[in-house]
Structure 1
Amino acid sequence: MKKLIVLLLTAVVLFAFAPQKQLKWMAIGDSITYHNNHLESTKGILTKGYMDRVVDKLPYVKFANHGYPGWTAQGIAENFDNLHLEKADVYTLFLGTNDWWVGLPIGTGDDYRDNTGPKSVYGAYRVIIDKIRQQNSEAKIVLLTPLQRTDFIDINNVRSIIHGSYKPNRQGVALSAYTDAIKNIAQAEKLELVDLYYKSGITVKNAVKYKRLRKVDSSYQNYVYPKYIDLPFNPDEDEYPYPTEAIDWTYDGLHPSDKGHQKIADMLVKLMKKY
Protein backbone atom coordinates (compact mmCIF):
# COMPACT_ATOMS: atom_id res chain seq x y z
CA MET A 1 0.00 0.00 0.00
CA LYS A 2 2.81 2.38 0.94
CA LYS A 3 4.55 1.59 -2.34
CA LEU A 4 1.40 2.49 -4.26
CA ILE A 5 1.06 5.79 -2.42
CA VAL A 6 4.67 6.65 -3.18
CA LEU A 7 4.16 5.87 -6.85
CA LEU A 8 1.03 8.03 -6.99
CA LEU A 9 2.76 10.93 -5.25
CA THR A 10 5.71 10.62 -7.63
CA ALA A 11 3.37 10.70 -10.62
CA VAL A 12 1.64 13.81 -9.26
CA VAL A 13 4.97 15.59 -8.74
CA LEU A 14 6.22 14.66 -12.20
CA PHE A 15 2.98 15.86 -13.77
CA ALA A 16 3.11 19.14 -11.84
CA PHE A 17 6.62 19.89 -13.07
CA ALA A 18 6.26 18.56 -16.59
CA PRO A 19 6.90 21.22 -19.25
CA GLN A 20 3.76 22.79 -20.70
CA LYS A 21 3.10 21.66 -24.25
CA GLN A 22 3.60 24.48 -26.75
CA LEU A 23 0.37 25.98 -28.06
CA LYS A 24 0.48 27.29 -31.62
CA TRP A 25 -1.70 30.35 -32.14
CA MET A 26 -2.61 31.84 -35.51
CA ALA A 27 -3.85 35.42 -35.06
CA ILE A 28 -5.80 36.65 -38.09
CA GLY A 29 -7.02 40.24 -38.19
CA ASP A 30 -6.65 43.79 -39.41
CA SER A 31 -4.40 46.69 -38.34
CA ILE A 32 -5.03 46.15 -34.62
CA THR A 33 -3.43 42.72 -34.95
CA TYR A 34 -0.79 44.00 -37.38
CA HIS A 35 0.43 46.62 -34.89
CA ASN A 36 1.67 43.94 -32.49
CA ASN A 37 4.68 43.34 -34.77
CA HIS A 38 4.86 46.81 -36.27
CA LEU A 39 4.96 49.20 -33.33
CA GLU A 40 6.72 51.80 -35.47
CA SER A 41 3.47 52.35 -37.36
CA THR A 42 1.99 53.78 -34.15
CA LYS A 43 4.84 56.32 -33.86
CA GLY A 44 5.98 54.74 -30.64
CA ILE A 45 2.69 55.24 -28.84
CA LEU A 46 2.02 51.52 -28.56
CA THR A 47 4.76 49.66 -26.70
CA LYS A 48 3.37 46.12 -26.84
CA GLY A 49 0.48 44.49 -28.69
CA TYR A 50 -2.15 42.12 -27.38
CA MET A 51 -0.44 38.98 -28.68
CA ASP A 52 2.83 39.67 -26.89
CA ARG A 53 0.83 40.51 -23.78
CA VAL A 54 -0.92 37.13 -23.97
CA VAL A 55 2.46 35.40 -24.23
CA ASP A 56 3.64 37.33 -21.16
CA LYS A 57 0.95 35.48 -19.19
CA LEU A 58 1.06 32.21 -21.15
CA PRO A 59 4.70 31.73 -22.19
CA TYR A 60 4.03 28.32 -23.73
CA VAL A 61 2.00 30.03 -26.48
CA LYS A 62 3.76 30.71 -29.77
CA PHE A 63 1.92 32.96 -32.18
CA ALA A 64 2.05 33.95 -35.83
CA ASN A 65 0.79 37.40 -36.75
CA HIS A 66 -1.45 37.61 -39.80
CA GLY A 67 -2.85 41.09 -39.37
CA TYR A 68 -3.48 43.13 -42.52
CA PRO A 69 -4.24 46.87 -42.21
CA GLY A 70 -7.55 47.80 -43.77
CA TRP A 71 -8.57 44.25 -44.59
CA THR A 72 -12.07 42.90 -44.24
CA ALA A 73 -13.47 39.41 -43.74
CA GLN A 74 -13.99 39.32 -47.49
CA GLY A 75 -10.33 40.12 -48.10
CA ILE A 76 -9.18 37.38 -45.75
CA ALA A 77 -11.60 34.86 -47.28
CA GLU A 78 -10.61 35.62 -50.87
CA ASN A 79 -6.88 35.52 -50.15
CA PHE A 80 -6.74 32.81 -47.50
CA ASP A 81 -4.86 30.33 -49.67
CA ASN A 82 -2.17 32.92 -50.44
CA LEU A 83 -1.52 33.98 -46.84
CA HIS A 84 0.74 31.00 -46.05
CA LEU A 85 -0.90 30.28 -42.73
CA GLU A 86 0.68 27.40 -40.89
CA LYS A 87 -1.34 24.77 -39.11
CA ALA A 88 -2.11 25.90 -35.56
CA ASP A 89 -3.88 24.74 -32.41
CA VAL A 90 -5.81 27.97 -31.94
CA TYR A 91 -7.01 30.45 -34.56
CA THR A 92 -8.37 33.86 -33.61
CA LEU A 93 -10.36 36.00 -36.06
CA PHE A 94 -10.38 39.67 -35.08
CA LEU A 95 -12.24 41.50 -37.85
CA GLY A 96 -15.33 43.61 -38.40
CA THR A 97 -14.43 47.27 -38.02
CA ASN A 98 -13.24 47.65 -41.64
CA ASP A 99 -16.17 45.56 -42.88
CA TRP A 100 -18.44 48.15 -41.26
CA TRP A 101 -16.70 51.17 -42.75
CA VAL A 102 -16.47 49.89 -46.31
CA GLY A 103 -20.05 48.67 -46.11
CA LEU A 104 -19.53 44.98 -46.74
CA PRO A 105 -23.09 43.57 -46.71
CA ILE A 106 -23.76 41.58 -43.57
CA GLY A 107 -25.97 39.04 -45.29
CA THR A 108 -27.93 36.50 -43.28
CA GLY A 109 -27.49 33.17 -41.58
CA ASP A 110 -28.62 31.59 -44.85
CA ASP A 111 -25.46 32.93 -46.52
CA TYR A 112 -23.41 31.10 -43.93
CA ARG A 113 -25.46 27.92 -44.07
CA ASP A 114 -25.56 27.81 -47.86
CA ASN A 115 -21.93 28.86 -48.29
CA THR A 116 -22.81 31.63 -50.75
CA GLY A 117 -19.25 33.01 -50.92
CA PRO A 118 -17.31 35.94 -49.46
CA LYS A 119 -19.53 38.78 -50.69
CA SER A 120 -21.11 39.16 -47.24
CA VAL A 121 -19.92 38.93 -43.65
CA TYR A 122 -21.78 35.67 -43.06
CA GLY A 123 -20.49 34.18 -46.31
CA ALA A 124 -16.91 35.32 -45.76
CA TYR A 125 -16.78 33.86 -42.27
CA ARG A 126 -18.05 30.55 -43.64
CA VAL A 127 -15.19 30.48 -46.15
CA ILE A 128 -12.59 31.36 -43.50
CA ILE A 129 -13.85 28.85 -40.96
CA ASP A 130 -14.02 26.09 -43.58
CA LYS A 131 -10.43 26.86 -44.63
CA ILE A 132 -9.25 26.71 -41.01
CA ARG A 133 -10.97 23.39 -40.46
CA GLN A 134 -9.32 22.03 -43.60
CA GLN A 135 -5.97 22.89 -42.02
CA ASN A 136 -6.81 21.46 -38.62
CA SER A 137 -10.21 19.96 -37.91
CA GLU A 138 -9.36 19.81 -34.19
CA ALA A 139 -8.32 23.45 -33.85
CA LYS A 140 -9.98 25.86 -31.46
CA ILE A 141 -11.48 28.81 -33.33
CA VAL A 142 -12.04 32.04 -31.43
CA LEU A 143 -14.04 34.95 -32.86
CA LEU A 144 -13.45 38.47 -31.55
CA THR A 145 -16.02 41.18 -32.10
CA PRO A 146 -14.90 44.67 -33.17
CA LEU A 147 -14.28 47.39 -30.62
CA GLN A 148 -16.51 50.40 -30.28
CA ARG A 149 -14.78 53.44 -31.79
CA THR A 150 -14.99 57.20 -31.86
CA ASP A 151 -13.76 59.62 -34.53
CA PHE A 152 -10.64 58.12 -36.11
CA ILE A 153 -7.89 60.41 -37.36
CA ASP A 154 -4.84 58.58 -38.64
CA ILE A 155 -1.61 59.74 -37.00
CA ASN A 156 0.26 58.83 -40.18
CA ASN A 157 -2.18 60.56 -42.52
CA VAL A 158 -4.34 63.18 -40.83
CA ARG A 159 -6.50 63.46 -43.94
CA SER A 160 -7.77 59.95 -43.23
CA ILE A 161 -10.80 60.67 -41.07
CA ILE A 162 -13.66 58.33 -40.19
CA HIS A 163 -16.53 59.10 -37.85
CA GLY A 164 -17.14 56.96 -34.80
CA SER A 165 -19.57 54.12 -34.28
CA TYR A 166 -22.07 56.56 -32.77
CA LYS A 167 -23.23 56.90 -36.39
CA PRO A 168 -24.03 54.18 -38.91
CA ASN A 169 -21.85 53.65 -41.96
CA ARG A 170 -22.67 55.14 -45.36
CA GLN A 171 -25.13 52.32 -45.97
CA GLY A 172 -26.96 53.18 -42.76
CA VAL A 173 -25.81 50.09 -40.82
CA ALA A 174 -24.54 50.24 -37.25
CA LEU A 175 -21.27 48.64 -36.15
CA SER A 176 -23.28 46.71 -33.57
CA ALA A 177 -25.03 44.87 -36.42
CA TYR A 178 -21.67 43.49 -37.58
CA THR A 179 -20.91 42.51 -34.01
CA ASP A 180 -24.22 40.69 -33.70
CA ALA A 181 -23.54 38.76 -36.92
CA ILE A 182 -20.20 37.56 -35.55
CA LYS A 183 -21.87 36.55 -32.30
CA ASN A 184 -24.54 34.65 -34.22
CA ILE A 185 -21.88 32.73 -36.15
CA ALA A 186 -20.04 31.83 -32.95
CA GLN A 187 -23.25 30.61 -31.37
CA ALA A 188 -24.37 28.61 -34.41
CA GLU A 189 -20.97 26.95 -34.83
CA LYS A 190 -20.34 26.58 -31.07
CA LEU A 191 -17.15 28.60 -31.36
CA GLU A 192 -15.49 30.55 -28.58
CA LEU A 193 -16.30 34.27 -28.51
CA VAL A 194 -14.42 37.23 -27.08
CA ASP A 195 -17.02 39.97 -27.11
CA LEU A 196 -15.01 43.18 -27.15
CA TYR A 197 -17.89 45.33 -28.38
CA TYR A 198 -20.25 44.67 -25.49
CA LYS A 199 -18.04 43.31 -22.71
CA SER A 200 -14.61 44.94 -22.84
CA GLY A 201 -15.74 48.18 -21.21
CA ILE A 202 -14.31 50.13 -24.15
CA THR A 203 -17.00 52.42 -25.50
CA VAL A 204 -17.39 55.36 -27.80
CA LYS A 205 -17.47 57.56 -24.68
CA ASN A 206 -14.12 56.47 -23.27
CA ALA A 207 -12.19 55.59 -26.41
CA VAL A 208 -10.34 58.87 -25.84
CA LYS A 209 -10.45 61.31 -22.94
CA TYR A 210 -11.16 64.24 -25.20
CA LYS A 211 -10.74 65.68 -28.66
CA ARG A 212 -8.70 68.90 -28.89
CA LEU A 213 -10.07 71.21 -31.56
CA ARG A 214 -9.41 74.76 -32.72
CA LYS A 215 -12.11 77.34 -32.15
CA VAL A 216 -12.98 80.28 -34.38
CA ASP A 217 -10.59 82.56 -32.46
CA SER A 218 -7.77 80.06 -33.19
CA SER A 219 -7.46 78.96 -29.57
CA TYR A 220 -7.84 75.26 -28.73
CA GLN A 221 -10.35 73.58 -26.47
CA ASN A 222 -10.69 70.03 -25.19
CA TYR A 223 -14.11 68.56 -25.93
CA VAL A 224 -15.38 65.36 -24.35
CA TYR A 225 -17.82 63.01 -26.04
CA PRO A 226 -20.40 63.82 -27.38
CA LYS A 227 -19.63 67.55 -27.52
CA TYR A 228 -17.00 67.12 -30.26
CA ILE A 229 -19.36 65.39 -32.69
CA ASP A 230 -19.53 67.32 -35.98
CA LEU A 231 -17.13 70.04 -34.81
CA PRO A 232 -14.73 70.93 -37.62
CA PHE A 233 -11.15 69.69 -37.92
CA ASN A 234 -8.89 71.00 -40.67
CA PRO A 235 -6.10 68.49 -41.30
CA ASP A 236 -4.07 71.06 -43.24
CA GLU A 237 -3.99 73.65 -40.47
CA ASP A 238 -5.05 72.22 -37.12
CA GLU A 239 -2.96 70.35 -34.59
CA TYR A 240 -3.56 66.62 -34.24
CA PRO A 241 -6.65 66.42 -32.01
CA TYR A 242 -5.48 63.51 -29.83
CA PRO A 243 -2.35 64.60 -27.95
CA THR A 244 -0.74 62.15 -25.55
CA GLU A 245 -2.87 63.44 -22.70
CA ALA A 246 -6.05 62.53 -24.60
CA ILE A 247 -5.14 58.85 -24.97
CA ASP A 248 -7.42 56.47 -23.12
CA TRP A 249 -8.45 53.05 -24.44
CA THR A 250 -7.38 54.16 -27.94
CA TYR A 251 -4.76 56.63 -29.12
CA ASP A 252 -6.46 57.77 -32.33
CA GLY A 253 -10.13 57.04 -31.73
CA LEU A 254 -9.89 53.53 -33.20
CA HIS A 255 -6.62 51.71 -32.53
CA PRO A 256 -6.12 50.50 -28.95
CA SER A 257 -3.50 52.06 -26.72
CA ASP A 258 -1.32 49.99 -24.37
CA LYS A 259 -4.28 50.02 -21.99
CA GLY A 260 -6.61 48.82 -24.74
CA HIS A 261 -4.30 46.05 -25.92
CA GLN A 262 -3.94 44.87 -22.32
CA LYS A 263 -7.72 44.60 -22.03
CA ILE A 264 -7.88 42.48 -25.21
CA ALA A 265 -5.04 40.31 -23.92
CA ASP A 266 -6.69 39.83 -20.54
CA MET A 267 -9.90 38.62 -22.17
CA LEU A 268 -7.98 36.24 -24.42
CA VAL A 269 -5.83 34.89 -21.59
CA LYS A 270 -8.93 34.05 -19.58
CA LEU A 271 -10.06 31.90 -22.49
CA MET A 272 -6.78 30.51 -23.84
CA LYS A 273 -5.40 29.33 -20.52
CA LYS A 274 -8.03 26.58 -20.69
CA TYR A 275 -6.23 25.16 -23.72
Structure 2
Amino acid sequence: MRFSLWQPGRLLSKKNVKGWVRLTLGDMGGFRNMKSKWAGKTWGTLGDSITAANGYQPLVQDALGFSRVHNYGVGGCPMTAGGERDYGATTHVGRSIENTLDCVTIFAGVNDFRLDKPLGAIGTLDPCTFYGAYASLIEDILVKNPLCRLNLWTPLHRDKDGYDIHYVNAAGYRLCDYAEAVAALGRIYALPVLDLYAQSGLNKLTLSNFTTDGLHPNEAGHRRIADMAISFLRGL
Protein backbone atom coordinates (compact mmCIF):
# COMPACT_ATOMS: atom_id res chain seq x y z
CA MET A 1 0.00 0.00 0.00
CA ARG A 2 1.27 3.47 -0.92
CA PHE A 3 0.17 6.99 -0.04
CA SER A 4 0.30 10.05 -2.27
CA LEU A 5 0.27 13.67 -1.16
CA TRP A 6 -3.17 15.19 -1.51
CA GLN A 7 -4.83 18.57 -1.35
CA PRO A 8 -8.57 19.27 -1.35
CA GLY A 9 -9.82 19.05 -4.92
CA ARG A 10 -6.76 17.44 -6.47
CA LEU A 11 -4.17 14.72 -6.08
CA LEU A 12 -0.64 16.06 -6.09
CA SER A 13 1.64 14.39 -8.60
CA LYS A 14 5.12 14.79 -10.08
CA LYS A 15 3.75 17.31 -12.52
CA ASN A 16 2.63 19.84 -9.92
CA VAL A 17 4.83 19.18 -6.90
CA LYS A 18 8.58 19.53 -6.99
CA GLY A 19 10.20 16.80 -4.98
CA TRP A 20 6.98 14.71 -4.90
CA VAL A 21 7.20 12.02 -2.22
CA ARG A 22 5.55 8.67 -1.70
CA LEU A 23 5.49 7.05 1.75
CA THR A 24 5.28 3.30 2.22
CA LEU A 25 3.90 1.78 5.40
CA GLY A 26 7.45 0.86 6.39
CA ASP A 27 8.52 4.47 5.99
CA MET A 28 5.72 5.63 8.26
CA GLY A 29 7.13 3.76 11.25
CA GLY A 30 10.43 5.57 10.94
CA PHE A 31 8.66 8.89 10.33
CA ARG A 32 6.59 8.40 13.48
CA ASN A 33 9.68 7.70 15.59
CA MET A 34 11.52 10.70 14.13
CA LYS A 35 8.79 12.91 15.56
CA SER A 36 9.01 11.33 19.02
CA LYS A 37 11.03 13.13 21.69
CA TRP A 38 12.17 9.67 22.85
CA ALA A 39 13.63 8.56 19.53
CA GLY A 40 17.19 7.39 20.17
CA LYS A 41 16.81 7.77 23.95
CA THR A 42 17.18 5.14 26.68
CA TRP A 43 14.52 3.87 29.09
CA GLY A 44 14.84 1.91 32.33
CA THR A 45 11.86 0.05 33.80
CA LEU A 46 11.81 -0.91 37.48
CA GLY A 47 9.19 -3.16 39.01
CA ASP A 48 7.95 -6.67 39.74
CA SER A 49 6.87 -9.64 37.62
CA ILE A 50 4.60 -7.49 35.45
CA THR A 51 7.66 -5.51 34.40
CA ALA A 52 9.97 -8.55 34.33
CA ALA A 53 7.64 -10.24 31.80
CA ASN A 54 8.80 -7.69 29.21
CA GLY A 55 5.36 -7.43 27.68
CA TYR A 56 4.60 -3.71 27.54
CA GLN A 57 8.14 -2.47 26.96
CA PRO A 58 8.63 -3.62 23.33
CA LEU A 59 5.29 -2.08 22.38
CA VAL A 60 6.24 1.26 23.91
CA GLN A 61 9.71 1.10 22.40
CA ASP A 62 8.32 0.47 18.92
CA ALA A 63 5.88 3.37 19.19
CA LEU A 64 8.24 5.94 20.73
CA GLY A 65 11.58 4.91 19.26
CA PHE A 66 13.65 4.27 22.38
CA SER A 67 17.06 3.03 21.24
CA ARG A 68 17.51 0.81 24.30
CA VAL A 69 15.22 -0.43 27.06
CA HIS A 70 16.69 -1.81 30.28
CA ASN A 71 14.35 -4.16 32.15
CA TYR A 72 15.12 -4.18 35.87
CA GLY A 73 11.96 -6.01 36.94
CA VAL A 74 12.23 -8.77 39.57
CA GLY A 75 9.31 -11.15 39.88
CA GLY A 76 7.58 -11.62 43.21
CA CYS A 77 9.38 -8.76 44.91
CA PRO A 78 8.03 -5.57 46.51
CA MET A 79 9.31 -2.04 46.64
CA THR A 80 9.91 -2.31 50.37
CA ALA A 81 13.07 -3.81 51.88
CA GLY A 82 13.15 -6.58 54.47
CA GLY A 83 11.82 -10.11 54.68
CA GLU A 84 12.52 -13.13 52.49
CA ARG A 85 12.34 -11.15 49.26
CA ASP A 86 14.67 -8.38 50.28
CA TYR A 87 17.13 -9.54 47.59
CA GLY A 88 14.86 -8.22 44.85
CA ALA A 89 13.26 -5.24 46.57
CA THR A 90 12.87 -2.47 44.02
CA THR A 91 14.36 0.04 46.45
CA HIS A 92 17.61 -1.99 46.30
CA VAL A 93 17.55 -2.87 42.60
CA GLY A 94 16.94 0.74 41.60
CA ARG A 95 20.15 1.91 43.21
CA SER A 96 22.26 -0.05 40.75
CA ILE A 97 20.65 1.05 37.48
CA GLU A 98 22.58 3.03 34.88
CA ASN A 99 22.86 6.68 35.88
CA THR A 100 22.72 7.98 32.32
CA LEU A 101 19.22 6.80 31.39
CA ASP A 102 16.99 9.39 29.74
CA CYS A 103 13.76 8.00 31.17
CA VAL A 104 13.13 5.83 34.25
CA THR A 105 9.81 4.27 35.21
CA ILE A 106 8.96 2.82 38.63
CA PHE A 107 5.99 0.43 38.56
CA ALA A 108 5.55 -1.15 41.99
CA GLY A 109 3.16 -1.61 44.89
CA VAL A 110 1.03 -4.68 44.18
CA ASN A 111 3.47 -7.02 45.94
CA ASP A 112 3.83 -4.66 48.89
CA PHE A 113 0.09 -5.04 49.36
CA ARG A 114 0.26 -8.84 49.00
CA LEU A 115 3.25 -9.15 51.35
CA ASP A 116 1.68 -6.94 54.02
CA LYS A 117 4.34 -4.24 53.88
CA PRO A 118 3.69 -1.25 56.18
CA LEU A 119 3.07 2.10 54.51
CA GLY A 120 5.00 4.08 57.10
CA ALA A 121 4.88 7.85 57.10
CA ILE A 122 5.17 10.23 54.20
CA GLY A 123 8.33 12.31 54.40
CA THR A 124 10.42 9.49 55.89
CA LEU A 125 13.18 7.39 54.29
CA ASP A 126 12.92 4.11 56.19
CA PRO A 127 13.47 1.41 53.49
CA CYS A 128 11.42 -1.09 55.51
CA THR A 129 8.25 0.93 54.88
CA PHE A 130 6.61 1.57 51.52
CA TYR A 131 6.78 5.35 51.73
CA GLY A 132 10.37 5.30 52.95
CA ALA A 133 11.62 2.71 50.46
CA TYR A 134 9.98 4.52 47.54
CA ALA A 135 11.11 8.00 48.60
CA SER A 136 14.68 6.91 49.23
CA LEU A 137 14.82 5.31 45.78
CA ILE A 138 13.43 8.45 44.14
CA GLU A 139 16.08 10.55 45.86
CA ASP A 140 18.87 8.14 44.96
CA ILE A 141 17.92 8.17 41.28
CA LEU A 142 17.53 11.95 41.08
CA VAL A 143 20.79 12.68 42.90
CA LYS A 144 22.72 10.40 40.54
CA ASN A 145 20.80 11.34 37.39
CA PRO A 146 18.97 14.66 37.87
CA LEU A 147 18.27 15.10 34.16
CA CYS A 148 16.40 11.83 33.71
CA ARG A 149 12.62 11.94 33.29
CA LEU A 150 11.61 9.88 36.30
CA ASN A 151 7.97 8.79 36.31
CA LEU A 152 5.84 6.71 38.68
CA TRP A 153 3.07 4.22 37.84
CA THR A 154 0.43 3.10 40.31
CA PRO A 155 -0.34 -0.63 40.63
CA LEU A 156 -3.13 -2.27 38.66
CA HIS A 157 -6.18 -3.83 40.26
CA ARG A 158 -5.84 -7.50 41.21
CA ASP A 159 -8.09 -10.38 42.23
CA LYS A 160 -5.91 -13.37 43.09
CA ASP A 161 -5.54 -15.62 46.14
CA GLY A 162 -8.24 -13.66 47.93
CA TYR A 163 -6.35 -10.38 47.57
CA ASP A 164 -8.60 -7.98 45.68
CA ILE A 165 -9.14 -4.24 45.99
CA HIS A 166 -11.46 -4.68 48.98
CA TYR A 167 -9.18 -6.94 51.00
CA VAL A 168 -7.46 -5.42 54.04
CA ASN A 169 -4.00 -6.94 54.46
CA ALA A 170 -2.26 -7.82 57.72
CA ALA A 171 -0.70 -4.35 57.85
CA GLY A 172 -4.18 -2.81 57.77
CA TYR A 173 -4.18 -1.47 54.21
CA ARG A 174 -6.05 -1.93 50.95
CA LEU A 175 -4.39 -1.87 47.53
CA CYS A 176 -5.74 1.63 46.94
CA ASP A 177 -3.67 2.88 49.88
CA TYR A 178 -0.46 1.88 48.09
CA ALA A 179 -1.72 3.45 44.86
CA GLU A 180 -2.47 6.70 46.69
CA ALA A 181 0.98 6.61 48.29
CA VAL A 182 2.54 6.54 44.81
CA ALA A 183 0.39 9.49 43.75
CA ALA A 184 1.33 11.40 46.91
CA LEU A 185 5.04 10.84 46.29
CA GLY A 186 4.57 12.14 42.77
CA ARG A 187 3.12 15.35 44.17
CA ILE A 188 5.87 15.75 46.76
CA TYR A 189 8.69 15.30 44.25
CA ALA A 190 6.89 16.95 41.31
CA LEU A 191 7.06 13.74 39.29
CA PRO A 192 4.50 12.62 36.71
CA VAL A 193 2.27 9.71 37.73
CA LEU A 194 0.51 7.28 35.40
CA ASP A 195 -2.55 6.22 37.39
CA LEU A 196 -3.15 2.70 36.15
CA TYR A 197 -5.09 1.90 39.31
CA ALA A 198 -7.76 4.48 38.53
CA GLN A 199 -7.69 4.66 34.73
CA SER A 200 -6.58 1.34 33.17
CA GLY A 201 -10.05 -0.16 32.94
CA LEU A 202 -8.81 -3.36 34.60
CA ASN A 203 -11.32 -4.21 37.34
CA LYS A 204 -13.23 -7.18 38.75
CA LEU A 205 -15.39 -7.31 35.60
CA THR A 206 -12.52 -7.19 33.10
CA LEU A 207 -9.50 -8.78 34.81
CA SER A 208 -10.30 -12.14 33.21
CA ASN A 209 -9.95 -10.52 29.78
CA PHE A 210 -6.67 -8.76 30.51
CA THR A 211 -4.83 -11.16 32.84
CA THR A 212 -3.97 -14.84 32.99
CA ASP A 213 -4.78 -15.25 36.66
CA GLY A 214 -6.35 -12.07 38.01
CA LEU A 215 -2.94 -10.46 38.44
CA HIS A 216 -0.45 -11.01 35.62
CA PRO A 217 -1.35 -9.31 32.32
CA ASN A 218 -1.86 -11.37 29.18
CA GLU A 219 -1.14 -9.99 25.72
CA ALA A 220 -4.20 -7.76 25.83
CA GLY A 221 -3.25 -6.56 29.29
CA HIS A 222 0.25 -5.58 28.25
CA ARG A 223 -1.21 -3.84 25.21
CA ARG A 224 -3.54 -1.83 27.48
CA ILE A 225 -0.61 -0.82 29.70
CA ALA A 226 1.47 0.08 26.65
CA ASP A 227 -1.29 2.16 25.04
CA MET A 228 -1.62 4.22 28.20
CA ALA A 229 2.14 4.48 28.67
CA ILE A 230 2.69 5.65 25.09
CA SER A 231 0.27 8.54 25.48
CA PHE A 232 1.62 9.33 28.95
CA LEU A 233 5.29 9.36 27.95
CA ARG A 234 4.58 11.43 24.84
CA GLY A 235 3.23 14.12 27.13
CA LEU A 236 6.30 14.39 29.34
Coarse TM-score class (shorter-chain normalised): 0.7 to 0.9
Equivalent residue for 1:89? 102
1:119-268 alignment runs, 5 A limit:
119-151=128-160, 161-208=161-208, 248-268=209-229
Tell me how far 1:79 sits from its aligned partner.
4.4
Tell me how far 1:122 sits from its aligned partner.
1.1
- Work out the percentage of aligned pairs sharing the same amino acid: 30
Unaligned 5+ segments in structure 1 are: 1-15, 37-48, 152-160, 209-247
The alignment's TM-score, normalised by the length of structure 1, stands at 0.66
1:18/1:249 Cα in 2 relative to 1: closer, same or farther (>3 Å)?
closer
Amino acid at match of 1:250: T
Secondary structure, counterpart of 2:53 in structure 1: helix
Task: Give deviations 1:64-110, integer Å, cap 9, x for gaps.
Answer: 000001111122223444x4435201110000000111111111223
1:60/1:84 Cα in 2 relative to 1: closer, same or farther (>3 Å)?
closer
Contact 2:200 2:225 in 1 (8 A): yes
Q: Pick from 42, 46, 56: which aligns with 2:62?
A: 56
Amino acid at match of 1:22: G
1:15-30 alignment runs, 5 A limit:
21-30=39-48
Contact 1:166 1:204 in 2 (8 A): no
Equivalent residue for 2:123? 110
Secondary structure, counterpart of 1:77 in structure 2: helix
Secondary structure, counterpart of 1:73 in structure 2: coil
Secondary structure, counterpart of 1:148 in structure 2: coil
The whole-number CA distance in structure 2 between the counterparts of 1:27 and 1:18 is 20
- Of structures 1 and 2, the one with the larger relative CO (CA 8 A, separation 6+) is 1
Q: Pick from 24, 35, 42: which aligns with 2:53?
A: 35
Unaligned 5+ segments in structure 2 are: 1-30, 81-88
Amino acid at match of 1:272: L
Aligned: 1:67 with 2:79: no
Amino acid at match of 1:186: G
Amino acid at match of 2:189: E
The alignment's TM-score, normalised by the length of structure 2, stands at 0.76
1:108/1:58 Cα in 2 relative to 1: closer, same or farther (>3 Å)?
same
RMSD: 2.1
The whole-number CA distance in structure 2 between the counterparts of 1:203 and 1:70 is 21
Contact 2:33 2:63 in 1 (8 A): no
Amino acid at match of 2:221: G
The whole-number CA distance in structure 1 between the counterparts of 2:90 and 2:33 is 38
The whole-number CA distance in structure 2 between the counterparts of 1:78 and 1:25 is 18
1:57/1:150 Cα in 2 relative to 1: closer, same or farther (>3 Å)?
same
The whole-number CA distance in structure 1 between the counterparts of 2:171 and 2:217 is 26
